[in-house]
Amino acid sequence: DADVTQTPRNRITKTGKRIMLECSQTKGHDRMYWYRQDPGLGLRLIYYSFDVKDINKGEISDGYSVSRQAQAKFSLSLESAIPNQTALYFCATSPGQATYGYTFGSGTRLTVV
């Protein structure tokens, strides 16, 4: 679904490097989320945002930071990547009304070596 675009699709980085994963959407949704997927663990919430002024920590925010640059853009940063941050990362959006209508991006596969 081109409505929620994640870049890059794949990335290999070295331990200790800073890396940014980007998410942009054309759905006009207010709410944006970053989830991490590990085999056998499902998807776990890292951060979420209601709008550019509202950022909230999720279940596993340690080691991550985010920036909501505009309604349409929500970036996830790993300040100093470590190998156990190797995972598949999904951005998702949902509308601001009391409905859910999640749309997931295609995912970014990150490998930290």
Rule CB under 8 A: say whether 106 interacts with other proteins.
yes
End-to-end Cα, the chain, rounded Å = 30
Q: Which residues contact 68 (CB under 8 A, 6 or more apart)?
A: 32, 49, 51, 52, 54, 55, 74
Count interface residues toward other proteins (CB under 8 A): 24
Rule CB under 8 A: say whether 43 interacts with other proteins.
yes
Q: In this complex, which beta carbon is closest to other proteins, that of residue 27 or of residue 44? A: 44
- Tell me the two tokens of residue 88: 């598949």
Give contact residues for other proteins (rule: CB under 8 A): 1, 31, 33, 35, 40-45, 48, 50, 56, 58-59, 90, 94, 98, 100, 102, 104-107
